[in-house]
Structure 1
Amino acid sequence: MNSIESIDEAKIQAYIKQNNLTMTKDPSGFYYQIVEQGTGDVMLNKDSVFYDFNIKSLSGVEYQKKSTISNFGNYLGYITPSPYRIALTNLKRGGSVKVIFPSYLAFGKNGSGNIPSNEVLISEISTYTQKTQWELDDVKIKAFLSAKGITAIKDPSRVYYQVLTPGTGTDVIDQNSTLVVKYTGRTLDGTVFDSNNSYTTTLTGVIAGWGKVLPLFKSGAKIRLFIPSDLGYGVAGNGTAIPGNSILDFDIEIVSVTN
């Protein structure tokens, strides 16, 4: 009876041959191929690395897509599973690498979620050149604004805002002001995750990105905010609708201000 190791090896060798790939076999049993070497710094185990990845079966069944609205981040030395970490040490920031996992280095006989037992997996992991999440978010926001033809102002807090209607109220907004606002919140792919036509709050009850910019305006103002993830829901995100490290896009109307 063939071992799972030999069965996986035969599957991988057949896939590599069929697709004319040139891959390196790591002593632990996985295969990798550098797709892009990258042009940034060499990544060390102590370095924060920001990345995204997909996961497919050798037959092309897609189990995870690269995200269009968020990304992963960790110290290189803590990235799991270990084949990712080992493969990434051969790259510079901005590089990407294709990895084939034999099932015993992936999810084994138990599988995981929609991944069946003893499934050999192929994944491409891509890294970003930026060394901090806030720098990466800023690049993503500027790219989004450019692609959509939106002219926005960058606040010192790193929130970008577009003034749609300036507002004509007289009350100055501060931490103690009671606000009534209308808003719609989206991720950068346009998916609405929340909206409210009459939300009453103070600045202590909202995400930091709102608190940074709303004091610039008066009642009657209509604005659009593009909020970097650390001033939104950060690395934890907020449920399935807002993954960790998500930039937020809000339309806000300040209906009234009471001091």
Structure 2
Amino acid sequence: MKISNFLIGVLLVSAACSSNTKETPKGYKYTMLKEGEGEKGNVGDYLLINMMIKDANDSVWNDTRAQKFPMILPIGESNPADEGIEEIFPLLKKGDSILFKMPAKTLFEKQGGRVPSNVDSTSTFTFLLGVKEIMNEEQVRTLEQEIMQKLTSEQMSKDLNIIDSYLAANNIEAKTTESGLRYQFTKVGKGNNAAAGNQVSIHYAGYLMDGTLFDSSIESVARANNAFMEGRPYEPLTLEAGSGQVISGWEEAILLMNKGSKMRVWIPSPLAYGPRQRSAVIKENSILVFDMEMIDIK
């Protein structure tokens, strides 16, 4: 299983305890600053760690207290190509805090890069690492889900506060869906609402909260916002409702509309592209605003 690296919270290293220099089978030295309790991890397990990295001038390059995610390191089989650092991981227990050093050249080349010009290539970096937990694959998956749910909930609350403040400031009476969409019909249509499986054709214009247009199917709107693209066809977008072809905020909005209706919808980022940067304009966690017109439903 490929587990993404996460970075978190508080450095657990305690220098108050007497140091204890140890050595891996390949001769890689590390210092035990604090010894924990319990069993060591096995190949296939993961270390949930806290870490700080400092250069030779004591400048901090990475401190997990500034990150949202924990760092998770896999305990793998011994690899002859490893310099020996990876041999440390199977030796650690929950609660262990260690210090080890790595040459700058090795550190940056392991990342596939070169030593930066502002770093002495003969210097060493110091790693302070504390083991918070030893986890199996199922526990890691559960942790990932819990973290993502928490972050999504926090971002949703933040986005809704921004949207609702904007609506209140501009005296806009918008309706709300259970998921968090805010919408306002500007024209009433006729007939039944679109349903999952229908082929729908929609004209649209998409904006950021500051009014920046990032896309439109309408040529006049694109020209008015200096976003016209020569050679691009300006026509309604046709898709199957409920098929997952578009962001979830759009999927929900489509089912609120009938033929001929026009609507403005404010979509919180968790119902749009979330923490992904979609384009140079649509940054991570961007709230999107769409003007939508239902041209046809089949």
TM-score with structure 2 length normalisation?
0.44
1:170-249 mapped onto 2 (5 Å cutoff)? 170-197=191-218, 198-203=236-241, 204=243, 205-249=245-289
Q: Is the 8 A contact 2:51 2:63 kept in 1?
A: no
Q: Is the 8 A contact 1:171 1:257 kept in 2?
A: no
Change (3 A) 1:137 1:256: same
Counterpart pick for 2:9 among 45, 50, 53 = 45
Q: Say which one has the larger Rg.
A: 2
Q: Is the 8 A contact 1:187 1:193 kept in 2?
A: yes
Q: Is the 8 A contact 2:263 2:293 kept in 1?
A: yes
Counterpart of 1:153 in structure 2 is 175
Distance in 2 separating the partners of 1:240 and 1:214: 26
SS of the residue 1:240 aligns to:
coil
Distance in 2 separating the partners of 1:243 and 1:220: 32
Change (3 A) 1:78 1:231: farther
1:68-107 mapped onto 2 (5 Å cutoff)? 82=62, 85=65
Superposed CA RMSD in Å reads 3.2
Cα deviation, residue 45, structure 1: 2.2
Identity of aligned residues (%): 30
Cα deviation, residue 214, structure 1: 2.0
* Residue 142 (str. 1) matches residue 164 (str. 2): yes
Letter in 2 for 1:201: L
Deviation per CA, 1:189-238: give whole Å up to 9, x if none: 11100001311112322210011122122101000000010111111031
Letter in 2 for 1:232: A
Distance in 2 separating the partners of 1:206 and 1:84: 35
Q: Is the 8 A contact 2:194 2:258 kept in 1?
A: yes
Q: Is the 8 A contact 1:155 1:213 kept in 2?
A: no
Distance in 2 separating the partners of 1:142 and 1:216: 20
Provide structure 2 residue ranges, at least 5 long, that are not aligned to the other structure.
1-7, 11-49, 53-59, 67-115, 120-151, 219-235
Distance in 2 separating the partners of 1:246 and 1:151: 22
SS of the residue 1:212 aligns to:
helix
Letter in 2 for 1:200: T
Change (3 A) 1:45 1:131: farther
Distance in 2 separating the partners of 1:152 and 1:202: 26
Counterpart of 2:155 in structure 1 is 133
Deviation per CA, 1:31-73: give whole Å up to 9, x if none: xxxxxxxxxxxxx928xxxxxxxxxxxxxxxxxxxxxxxxxxx
SS of the residue 1:133 aligns to:
helix
Provide structure 1 residue ranges, at least 5 long, that are not aligned to the other structure.
1-43, 47-76, 87-107, 112-129
Distance in 2 separating the partners of 1:78 and 1:231: 33
TM-score with structure 1 length normalisation?
0.50
Letter in 1 for 2:208: T
Cα deviation, residue 239, structure 1: 1.3
